[in-house]
Structure formats: structure tokens, C-alpha cells
Chain A
Amino acid sequence: MPEIKITPLGAGQDVGRSCILLSMGGKNIMLDCGMHMGYNDERRFPDFSYIVPEGPITSQIDCVIISHFHLDHCGALPYMSEMVGYTGPIYMTHPTKAIAPILLEDMRKVAVERKGESNFFTSQMIKDCIKKVTAVTLHQSVMVDNELEIKAYYAGHVLGAAMFWIRVGSQSVVYTGDYNMTPDRHLGAAWIDKCRPDLLISESTYATTIRDSKRCRERDFLKKVHECVEKGGKVLIPVFALGRAQELCILLETYWERMNLKYPVYFALGLTEKANNYYKMFITWTNQKIRKTFVQRNMFDFKHIKPFDKSYIDNPGAMVVFATPGMLHAGLSLNIFKKWAPYEQNMLIMPGFCVQGTVGHKILNGAKKIEFENRQVVEVKMAVEYMSFSAHADAKGIMQLIQYCEPKNVLLVHGEAQKMEFLKDKIEKEFKISCFMPANGETAVINTPTKIPIDVSLRLLKAEAVRYNAQPPDPKRRRVVHGVLCVKDNRLSFLDIDEICDEIGINRHVIRFTSTVRFDDPGSAVKTAEKLKTLLAEKLQGWSITISDGNISVESVLIKVEGDDDNTKSIYVSWTNQDEDLGSYILGLLQSMVQ
């Protein structure tokens, strides 16, 4: 039985550093190539030595697919392609190709310039890496080589996020990356057709959560921000430059407008305008509403939100600041946090998930004191709020996607082990399909049914169709085709007997058997035939029995009645060698009827 093998190098029972090796039909595909934000050592990158102990991995990998631009999905790409060595094809969508290098460069600066790390990739490496990328559009079917085909579906999670359907021969896999099944303020919901893959590899960040209604969460968020600034507090919202930030900006912008608020809202990062420009340019990737109205009013032109300057950190009075990065692990958001954390009137809103090891993760787990590398200790007195705005599918969404595409197996990645366990049970119970959740470095093996492409002769099919259609419709009736399987040049065909004779140039030798049954029945031969037909029809239900000119045919067995009126009749039963079973059965039937 053909197999599909999956080995997560990252994101196996874990969030962050997504990197999954998929091998089927002799092809090896790498799904995502991310880095872990929680580590500063070699653990931050996937362990590529698993593929090849040393040296470039080009010969072992047929293609790399990147689902979206988040660094935990593409952060290790320049490391892999330029430092480990990979020159094969890399696929991602157009917006991902446009935005990923900016985030990579951003991250590189933080790592190298702030933390002073060496042995990190350079700006030039990022550029060289992106040059190797082939951009794909939604639903475009890309033939990587003669056997490997990939196709992107809309995933919603961030601008340009995609799920990928991958096929080799008759085996297929869907890899979701991160996705979102509910449309939000600027993105649509993930969608996939009923492609019935052999395996669905789904993220499971929110495997156990069923989130309350989006509207409630938004109202909650706005209420908290408003209360805080009214009391003169400062609100820090750590975000990533692209994605969630745009949605929250749209949210605050409309609220400020409606409530006529004057408190300053800042977006810290030169990227803002540029980021919003990407959203304007790739508006076809946003949701229906934004696409419809963009001619009149572009949602990404903000009136109330101003760029931030570092000198504003110590400004007195209320303000709201969006700062990067989103997990408080480095950079400006961490700097602002250090200054604002010791004051009670301030507030920190974490709008997304934080991976283990980051400051954000510690704070969310209730840490009241944070110790930094340089032994600096910061007391956290500010209010800390976690709001799940992260656009991942929740348990309901994951179940919905399974329903959409009807996979034969499911494999969970990008989530925590216990939560996965819960969802795994649920999937196995509800859909009666097997569900896997390999840990990093562990290989899951999935068996798929063998399906061999074969060319069926139209003559054979048409003959069958004529027979089938001649009978009263019955969807349960079995349709059987008899013919000859022919193997030539490694290709299979299913032919009619005459066709195979022509094909190899032989003369068929037909063997026919005829037996006679004597039957005393006065009246004309035609009448006897009619009588026999009725009797046969009773015995042989479901078979096609026809009569013409006193000749009865049951499928391909012929029955002929001869004899004068008022005399003994001879019933001839005739069949060819391959109809022996039916022929002898009918003969036996007639003989018993006569007695």
C-alpha cells in the first residue's frame, strides 16, 4: 500500500518554528520553514541535519512551500536556503513574497544589531533567498515537476495566507498553515472545496477554545481601552506590523471617530504607511466589504492614528500605542513595556498568542516580576489583558474545515499536546477518521488506497451502458464490465475482446456450446417461447431477458424453440465458452422445468 510520511521538524505538538517534512510518491516536500521566537540559540531554527547530516539539502527536497509571512512560518527560510544550502523551488503567494522580506529584515536587525548576535543571515541573504521564490496565485495549479502539483486556497489568517493542496499521482494532502474560519474586519474566511485529500494537516492553536462572538470581544477591547485612557492611563498594544495591527487600527479608528475622542493613538514603526500600502495594493486579498468600498474610501487611510516617536514614551497623559514586536521579546514594544509596567494606571493588551520563552508569555502567565538578561528587574503593576484577536481557527472552525474538504485522515500540528489530544478524540469520534499528532522528529505514516489510472475502452463502456440503461433504473444495481486488462509500456488499459485481438493481431477462436431440451407442449413454437420467457423471468430476476421472433436471449445466452404445432418441441440453449456459468444454469433450469 502506498504511504504518506510526515515528520515535523518544528510545530509537532508545539507552536512556533513550523517546519513539516512530507514525503509521498517519492517526493519530499517541506511545508513552512519557520523560526522559534522563544529561543536565542540553535533551537530557534528547525534541525535541518535531520534531512542531511551535513551540507546542502537541495538533493533531498523537491520543493518548499511557505503558507504565510509570519516568522514562525518563514523565519528560517534564508538560513535554510543560503546558509544550509537549498537551490530548489520555493512557493508562496504574492503578498507573502512582498511582505516576508520586510519582516525578515526587521527580525534580523533586532537579532544582530540589538542583541549583537553573530552567525545570523545577512540582508543580502534575505534578498538572494527571495529571488528563488516563485509567487503563486489562488487556485492556480502549479506543476512543480511532472508528478508534483500544488494549489493554493485562501486561508484568511493574515494578508496572503494560504492553504496548500499537494498531489503526487493519486495521493493528495492539504496543509492549512494558519487559518481562520470567521471573516474579520479586513480578511475573509478560509475556504476550500471538497477536494477529499488523503490527509489534512491542520494547525490547532485554539484546539480547545470555542471563542465567544467576535462582536463581544471587540466591544470588550474598546471598553477597556476607553476606560484606561479616560483615567489618564497609557495603553500599550504589542502587535506585529502587519496583520492583526491593521484590524485593530480599523477598530480603534472607527471607535474614535464615533465617540469623537481626542486621545492620541500612535502606531510605532516606520513600516506603518508602507504596510498599509501593501494592504491597498493587495486589496483583492482582503474581505468582500473592503474590496467593494475601496474606490470610495480606502479603509487603510487612517485619520486618528499618527506615527510614533521614541521621545513620546515619557510624554505625560493618556495615549494608546501600537508597538512591535507582538510577543514583547525584543525591540520597541519591550522598551515601552519596561517604562510603563511599574504604573498601575497603565494597561497592556496582548492581542495575540505568545510562544513559550517570550516576555509576553511570562506576563500572560501572571508573572509579576520580570528579570532580564542584564539582571534588570521590572515589576509589573500595570493591568494586563489578554484578548484573543489572533486569527486562528477555533475548535469549531477546525471541525468545519474537515467537513469542507472531507479528508481520509487528519494530522494536527502547531498546537499544544494536551489540547491536540482533546481535539484528536473529538475528530475521531465525530468523523470516524484517524487522527495523528506526531511530536517533533517523530514520523507519522499514513496508508492510502492504491488507485491505478487505467484507460477503459469506450466500446466496452458503451456496451455496458446500453445493457444498464435497458433495465429499469435501480441505483443499487451492480454494474459489471467484462474485458481484458492489457499492460503495455507500463500503461494499463481495459479492452473489449475484439479490440485486444486487433491490438495484437490474432484471430479469435470462438467456442460455443449448444444443448437441446425436449418439451411436450402443444401449440405453436412462438407460444411455447412466450411461456418459457415468463417462467425464466420469474427465476432470473434482475437479468435482462428479451424475446424476438421466438428467440429468447438472457444476456448473451440464446434460447430457441423449434417444432411443429401439437408436437414435442426442441428447445436449443446456446452459449459461448465464457458464459458457461449462466448457460449451464439456464440449461439446468429448463431441464428441471420440463420434468
Chain B
Amino acid sequence: MKLYCLSSDASKPCFVLSFKELLIMLDCGLSAHSVLNFLPLPPVPSTRLASLPNYTPPHVNDPLLEGELKECCGRVFVDSIPEFCPPLDKVVDFSQLDVILISNYTCMMALPFITEETGFKGQVYATEPTLQIGRFYLEELSEWVSSCGSSSGAAKRWKELVHLLPPPLALAARPRAWRRLFSPAALARALSRVRVVGYDERVDIYGALDATAVSSGFCLGSANWVLRSAHEKVAYVSGSSTLTTHPRPINQAALRGADLLVLAALTQTPAHNPDHMLGDLCVHATVTLRAGGSVLCPVYPSGVLYDLLECLSAHLEGAGLAHVPLYVVSPVADSSLAYSNILAEWVSVGKQARVYLPEEPFPHAALVRAGRLKHARSLHDDAFSADFRQPCVVFCGHPSLRFGAAVHLVELWANNPAHAIIFTEPDFPYVEALAPFQPLSMKAFHCPIDTSLNYSQANKLVRELRPRELALPEQYAGGGARPHISADAPTVVVRRGAARSLSVRRRAARATLCGALAARATPRELRAGLRAAPLSAALRVRDARLELVAPPGPAPAPAPRLHWSALDVEALVRALTREGVTEARVEASADGCIVHLPRHDTLVHVERHATHVFCEGRADVRQALRRAIASCLPHI
């Protein structure tokens, strides 16, 4: 068994596990940090961004670099369509992958990079909410990146000169591997490959393994995967949460006692408690709204958004601000809000109980009916512009502030200190996200809400699960004073591009023995509690499942297959006499003795662990010899 790591971002993991001649990809996260190096793509042309000065590195005169780089408040940005950092494609041949298992919708964004135009022929498995919400994320991303026009060609020259550029651009990891986002067509093709599974559904992987998605408690439909064969068990824990929020709670029992535990996607903000952050956010929002300012929350179209809507609406109501409108702006806002309310089977028990009344599991449907929550496809929707009033709270993407409606709103509100922007998504450092909008007068708050396991929770979980071996991305391994995962079990550390052998060793395969064949065997006790019998079985292999059946034809008397211990020569001579083979002469030899049967032209070399019969005579003599030897040795 081997584990390959293809992603450098531990919270957007991508592993490949080779086991039983299968290549299994675990998650395909897309690292979007790279987009922070690009200039924002405003949905409406922005004069400020357009008039930023060009940047040329000192002492470089390269006409090809012309116009590729711009400077804003001392930072250099690439003026081009943003690019992403997909999983490494040189380590594993994607066309050889047998299956891709996706744990949750934040870890599947690179799917088209892997399945399209790579010769991929395998299966992709995800839960239904993962597929649907993943589709919202991907479609939103794709619409925003592509709607901003591809007027400017991709800037490439700067990648040759990275070493000459100022940080943080100079520190960009392998910019040459960065890729532009896939086309909507490729996206649709990739999503159509996904096969939907339910929690605790055993998925048969080519007869070799069972894969089961078990609830991980992180978001709607989020799953940890358990791979099981008759003798081995691997647990892949990615994006799990032991906190109580809207999704179904984590199923720990299913992960226990694995031969290998792969741990990924822990919290990205271990220093921030999500509950406190949610409280802070409500307070900041209230203060801003009271002062007549508006609040912008750059968010993804699903996930924590549902909790934000639930908490913030209740909090505003308590603060006497129930009249403040809440807006969700996204190409998929309507679908995302509607969809969340039909996923009764994937939510927590408390929310599920509401369905039995029947009421929607999330309160945002009621907020929409009451007119407090409004959603729009984009900022320039007619209905939305007509209805828009301030102060208000706007939830829109993208959290990186490089594309999407949020770019326009930040541009619009940047100069007014009454407004506030509150960052809740943990994927991007907020200072960097805001860098191209500097100087900025609006208030910026950082309230990251990441419900994934933090280090102490993860350590506790690993202790409870008792894996025989643990595999981690290097970010989570020990080293200095920073928090890390430590376990009693042997730990394998992987980093991007690495392949590590694991200690799981296969010894046996599971088969079924048919009754007729079992009846032929007559096991004898060899030792207390252990019985054995020689057996010849016809092997039938169907769908990689093994069956042992009786070989056709009449059942032969089972021939002894195994003899053991040393041969007593005197007993042999007696036995030979009984068989009618007489005149045996016994001579000592170097490592045993030789029994000579001159009348039958036969020599028997008897050693401690072997008997060699040189038999020139007739077959009946040989049979007599066989019987005689067998009678002197214990056998089955």
C-alpha cells in the first residue's frame, strides 16, 4: 500500500492511495490561494483598477512583460485572468485512476482538471448534497471568472521572471503549473460523472474493496470515507467537525480501529473559536448598522452562510434591527437556499425534527417569505436594484475578493468609513484579499468561522480511533512549538509530490467455500484448537470475488499432502516387512542413513527432514514404499 500526496494545501487535500492493484484518489481540492496574486476582475469596469500604474522590475527591460504587472500601494499584481493551482499531475497518471472519493464540496473543486482531457476512465463517488452544493460552488466560480471577459490574454511572461519580482509574488509556488479555470462544458461533463451515494452505503469498488461514506459533521453531506476489505481497513478523515451545527453529527464509530488513518483538512484558523467569531460578527454587524453603515460578508453560496443567516437574523431581531434587509447575491443563490431545505435526511436531529411537523429545516425559507431575506442572481438584476436599500447586510462572493459581486461592492463602499466588511470564510488571509483595494476607509473585521477539527480535537479523535498507522500532510506534523498532531501509532508524513509506503501488508483474501467441497474435507486435530485437512479446490473468480468449489468429477480419496517430524528407520523396516518388502539393509550415511533394498533395486535415503527414494523397480513396490513411509510419519 502506498500513499501519494498531490496537493500542497492541507485544507484542499488530494491524495492517491494504491492498494490491491487499485488507484484510489481521495479528494481533489483546488488551491485558490494563487488568485490573490492577480488583480480583481470587477463585474462593472472600474476606473481605479484600470488606472493603476504598470510595474517593471528594476533593471529589466523586457517588452513581453509590458502590461502584465500592475502596482497598488506597494504591492505588485498580475493583470490577467486569475489562475488556480490544481493537484500535481506528474506523479500519478490520471488515466490510471480507478476511483475518486470526495469527502465534501470544498474538496472537489479540481475535479474537471482530473477527469477531463486526461483519459480518466474511473468512477467518482460523492454524496448527493456534495454533488449539488459542489455544483453551486463550481458554477458560481465558473460564471464569475468567465463573465468578466477574456479580453486580456493570459499573462505568461512574468512567470519566467518570478525571481526578479518583489514578494509575495516572488514566493509564489510553481506558478508555471497554475492553470486557468475549466470551461463550463468541461465542468458539466465532470459533474455528470459523479455517482451519488448515501451515508453508510457500501460501494463496491471492482470487487476488491467496499467504500463507505460516513457522516463527518462538517457541512451538509460531508463524509469521511472508510475503505474496507475482509482483512484491512483504511479510514480517510477529511473536513470533520465535532461541534454541533446544522449537519448530521460525525460518525466516529465507523472510523475506529483502522489499519491506516489518513487525516486532512483540519481547521485553517486554529486560534479562532467559531462560536466566538459568530458572536463577534453579530456585534460588529449590529454596531455598523446602527451607525447607518452597511455590512458586506464575502462568502461562498452555501455552508456557513446558512448558520450566518440563522444567527444574524435572530440577533438583529433582538437588537431591534429586524427591518434591515439581508441580501444574498449569487448566480446560484435561489437554488442554494431552496435546496438546503429539502435535505432533511442530511441535517442534525434538531433540524430533522422540524421536517416531521412539517416545517423547513432552515429558517431562511421563512425569512424569504417574510421579505427580510432577498436573493438575486447578480447586482444588476432589475428587481434587485429596484429593491436595494441601505443600510443592509449583503452576502456575496467571492471570499478572495478577486471576482464576483463582492469586488464591485468593496470598490463602491471602500471610501466610506461607516461601512464594514466582515470576513468569515477561512480560505484566504483577509489582509491579502484587501490588498488591491487599498487605501481603504471602510472597516474590516476578521471573524473566520471554520468548524473543522482543531488540533486538540483532532488529537483527541486520533486517540479515540486508535489507528494502527497514521498518515498526515507535513503541515500537521510536529516541529517546534506550533500545534501539531501526535499519536501513539507510527506516523507517516507526506508532502506535495511525495509517495510513501505504508506498513499495511496483505496476507489473505476472503473467499467462499461451497458446502459440497467442505463436506469432502475431514479435518484432523493437529494441536489443541487447530484442525486441518488437505484440500484441492477449483478456484472460480467472478467480479474479483473468489469461490472455492469442488473440482468436477468423482471425489478422490484425499491423498496425504503433508508429512512431518523425523522418520524412525527401524519402524520403517518393520513397516516394509509388513508390506512384503523384505531384506532391507540399513547403512549409516553422512546425514542420516540409507535403507538398501537390493531385491527391488531400490535405495531409500533417510534424512532428518526428507526421505528420498531411488526406485528403479516396479510401481507396486513404490506404492508399498509410500504406504510404509506414510505409516511411520504423522501426516494429513
Closest B residue to A499 by beta carbon equals B507
Closest A residue to B531 by beta carbon equals A487
In the complex, how many residues of chain B place their beta carbon closer than 8 angstroms to a beta carbon of chain A? 82
CB of B71 closer than 8 Å to a CB of A: no
CA distance A283 to B509 in the complex (A): 43
CA distance A125 to B633 in the complex (A): 72
Q: Report yes or no: A484 in contact with B533, Cβ–Cβ below 8 A.
A: yes
Q: Report yes or no: B533 in contact with A485, Cβ–Cβ below 8 A.
A: yes
Q: Mark A59-83, 1 if CB is under 8 A from B, else 0.
A: 0000000000000000000000000
CB of B152 closer than 8 Å to a CB of A: no
Cβ–Cβ < 8 Å partners of B508 in chain A: 455-458, 493
Q: Report yes or no: B202 in contact with A281, Cβ–Cβ below 8 A.
A: no
Cβ–Cβ < 8 Å partners of B527 in chain A: 504
Question: Given A454-B548, A485-B532, A509-B567, does the pair A480, B343 have CB atoms closer than 8 Å?
Answer: no
- Kindly identify which residue among A479, A483, A514 contacts B615, using a CB–CB cutoff of 8 Å: A514
Interface core residue of A458, A511, A512, A580 (most chain B CB under 10 Å): A511
Q: Report yes or no: A494 in contact with B614, Cβ–Cβ below 8 A.
A: no
Cβ–Cβ < 8 Å partners of B338 in chain A: 294-295
Q: Report yes or no: A484 in contact with B529, Cβ–Cβ below 8 A.
A: no
Q: Report yes or no: B539 in contact with A464, Cβ–Cβ below 8 A.
A: yes
CA distance A577 to B563 in the complex (A): 9
Q: Mark A489-500, 1 if CB is under 8 A from B, else 0.
A: 100111001001
Cβ–Cβ < 8 Å partners of A514 in chain B: 612-615
CA distance A493 to B629 in the complex (A): 28
User: How far does the Cβ of A274 sit from chain B's closest Cβ, in whole Å?
Assistant: 7
CB of B544 closer than 8 Å to a CB of A: no
Q: Report yes or no: B610 in contact with A98, Cβ–Cβ below 8 A.
A: no
Cβ–Cβ < 8 Å partners of B566 in chain A: 507, 509
Q: Mark A453-487, 1 if CB is under 8 A from B, else 0.
A: 11111100100100000000000001111111111
User: How far does the Cβ of B22 sit from chain A's closest Cβ, in whole Å?
Assistant: 16
CB of A141 closer than 8 Å to a CB of B: yes
Question: Given A458-B506, A511-B613, A512-B612, does the pair A140, B564 have CB atoms closer than 8 Å?
Answer: no
CB of B293 closer than 8 Å to a CB of A: no
- Kindly identify which residue among A457, A481, A501, A503 contacts B536, using a CB–CB cutoff of 8 Å: A481
CA distance A481 to B513 in the complex (A): 13
Cβ–Cβ < 8 Å partners of A137 in chain B: 198-200, 345
List B residues 505-531 near A (Cβ within 8 Å): 506-515, 518, 521, 523, 526-527, 529-531
CA distance A140 to B214 in the complex (A): 10
Cβ–Cβ < 8 Å partners of B252 in chain A: none
Q: Report yes or no: B615 in contact with A513, Cβ–Cβ below 8 A.
A: yes
CB of B44 closer than 8 Å to a CB of A: no
CB of A277 closer than 8 Å to a CB of B: yes
- Kindly identify which residue among B231, B506, B536 contacts A480, using a CB–CB cutoff of 8 Å: B536
Cβ–Cβ < 8 Å partners of B506 in chain A: 458
CA distance A582 to B318 in the complex (A): 91
- Kindly identify which residue among B358, B521, B561 contacts A578, using a CB–CB cutoff of 8 Å: B561
- Kindly identify which residue among A485, A500, A509, A513 contacts B565, using a CB–CB cutoff of 8 Å: A509
CA distance A283 to B344 in the complex (A): 10
- Kindly identify which residue among B231, B532, B559, B567 contacts A580, using a CB–CB cutoff of 8 Å: B559
List A residues 545-595 near B (Cβ within 8 Å): 577-578, 580, 584, 588
Q: Report yes or no: B539 in contact with A488, Cβ–Cβ below 8 A.
A: no
CA distance A458 to B540 in the complex (A): 15
CB of B271 closer than 8 Å to a CB of A: no
Question: Given A479-B541, A509-B567, does the pair A450, B518 have CB atoms closer than 8 Å?
Answer: yes
- Kindly identify which residue among A283, A294, A500 contacts B532, using a CB–CB cutoff of 8 Å: A500
CA distance A371 to B212 in the complex (A): 59
CB of A515 closer than 8 Å to a CB of B: yes
User: How far does the Cβ of A565 sit from chain B's closest Cβ, in whole Å?
Assistant: 24
User: How far does the Cβ of A330 sit from chain B's closest Cβ, in whole Å?
Assistant: 25
In the complex, how many residues of chain A place their beta carbon closer than 8 angstroms to a beta carbon of chain B? 70
- Kindly identify which residue among A283, A455, A508 contacts B342, using a CB–CB cutoff of 8 Å: A283
CB of A170 closer than 8 Å to a CB of B: yes
CA distance A513 to B561 in the complex (A): 15
CA distance A484 to B513 in the complex (A): 13
- Kindly identify which residue among A277, A294, A478 contacts B358, using a CB–CB cutoff of 8 Å: A277
From DSSP, what is the main secondary structure of chain A's interface residues?
A: mixed
User: How far does the Cβ of A471 sit from chain B's closest Cβ, in whole Å?
Assistant: 14
Q: Report yes or no: B512 in contact with A507, Cβ–Cβ below 8 A.
A: no
Cβ–Cβ < 8 Å partners of A455 in chain B: 230-231, 508-511
CB of A449 closer than 8 Å to a CB of B: yes
Q: Report yes or no: A507 in contact with B564, Cβ–Cβ below 8 A.
A: yes
CB of A27 closer than 8 Å to a CB of B: no
User: How far does the Cβ of A372 sit from chain B's closest Cβ, in whole Å?
Assistant: 36
User: How far does the Cβ of B443 sit from chain A's closest Cβ, in whole Å?
Assistant: 35
CA distance A447 to B212 in the complex (A): 32
Q: Report yes or no: A284 in contact with B622, Cβ–Cβ below 8 A.
A: no
Q: Report yes or no: B539 in contact with A480, Cβ–Cβ below 8 A.
A: yes
CB of A451 closer than 8 Å to a CB of B: yes
CA distance A513 to B624 in the complex (A): 13
Q: Report yes or no: A451 in contact with B539, Cβ–Cβ below 8 A.
A: no
Cβ–Cβ < 8 Å partners of A489 in chain B: 529
- Kindly identify which residue among B128, B530, B609 contacts A486, using a CB–CB cutoff of 8 Å: B530
Cβ–Cβ < 8 Å partners of A453 in chain B: 230, 510-513
CA distance A479 to B538 in the complex (A): 6
User: How far does the Cβ of A292 sit from chain B's closest Cβ, in whole Å?
Assistant: 10
CB of B335 closer than 8 Å to a CB of A: yes
CA distance A489 to B530 in the complex (A): 8
CA distance A516 to B616 in the complex (A): 6
Question: Given A283-B342, A452-B515, does the pair A511, B611 have CB atoms closer than 8 Å?
Answer: yes
CB of B360 closer than 8 Å to a CB of A: yes
User: How far does the Cβ of B498 sit from chain A's closest Cβ, in whole Å?
Assistant: 28
Q: Report yes or no: A454 in contact with B345, Cβ–Cβ below 8 A.
A: no
CA distance A90 to B55 in the complex (A): 71
Closest B residue to A93 by beta carbon equals B345
User: How far does the Cβ of A478 sit from chain B's closest Cβ, in whole Å?
Assistant: 6
User: How far does the Cβ of A192 sit from chain B's closest Cβ, in whole Å?
Assistant: 14
Q: Mark B180-199, 1 if CB is under 8 A from A, else 0.
A: 00000000000000000111
Q: Report yes or no: B521 in contact with A454, Cβ–Cβ below 8 A.
A: no
CA distance A451 to B636 in the complex (A): 24
CB of A216 closer than 8 Å to a CB of B: no
CA distance A283 to B361 in the complex (A): 13
Cβ–Cβ < 8 Å partners of B514 in chain A: 449-452
Closest B residue to A274 by beta carbon equals B358
CB of A539 closer than 8 Å to a CB of B: no
Cβ–Cβ < 8 Å partners of A484 in chain B: 532-535, 561-562, 636
Q: Mark A351-384, 1 if CB is under 8 A from B, else 0.
A: 0000000000000000000000000000000000
CB of A259 closer than 8 Å to a CB of B: no
Question: Given A140-B199, A277-B358, A509-B611, does the pair A295, B518 have CB atoms closer than 8 Å?
Answer: no
Cβ–Cβ < 8 Å partners of B633 in chain A: 509
CA distance A456 to B512 in the complex (A): 9
- Kindly identify which residue among A456, A488, A510 contacts B609, using a CB–CB cutoff of 8 Å: A510
Q: Report yes or no: A451 in contact with B515, Cβ–Cβ below 8 A.
A: yes
Question: Given A489-B529, A508-B564, does the pair A1, B358 have CB atoms closer than 8 Å?
Answer: no
CB of B316 closer than 8 Å to a CB of A: no
Closest A residue to B614 by beta carbon equals A514
Interface core residue of B197, B339, B537, B551 (most chain A CB under 10 Å): B537
User: How far does the Cβ of A197 sit from chain B's closest Cβ, in whole Å?
Assistant: 15
CB of B486 closer than 8 Å to a CB of A: no
Closest B residue to A457 by beta carbon equals B508
Cβ–Cβ < 8 Å partners of A507 in chain B: 564-566, 608-609
Q: Mark B612-628, 1 if CB is under 8 A from A, else 0.
A: 11111001001000100
User: How far does the Cβ of B477 sit from chain A's closest Cβ, in whole Å?
Assistant: 32
Q: A484-B532, A511-B626 are in contact. List 8 more A-B contacts (CB 8 A).
A: A94-B355, A98-B356, A140-B201, A141-B201, A170-B512, A284-B342, A479-B540, A509-B611
What 9 A-B pairs are tightest by C-beta distance, nearest first?
A450-B515, A139-B201, A455-B508, A479-B539, A485-B535, A506-B564, A451-B512, A140-B200, A454-B513
Cross-chain pairs A/B with CB under 8 angstroms, 9 sampled: A142-B200, A281-B342, A294-B338, A452-B512, A486-B531, A488-B530, A501-B562, A510-B563, A577-B563
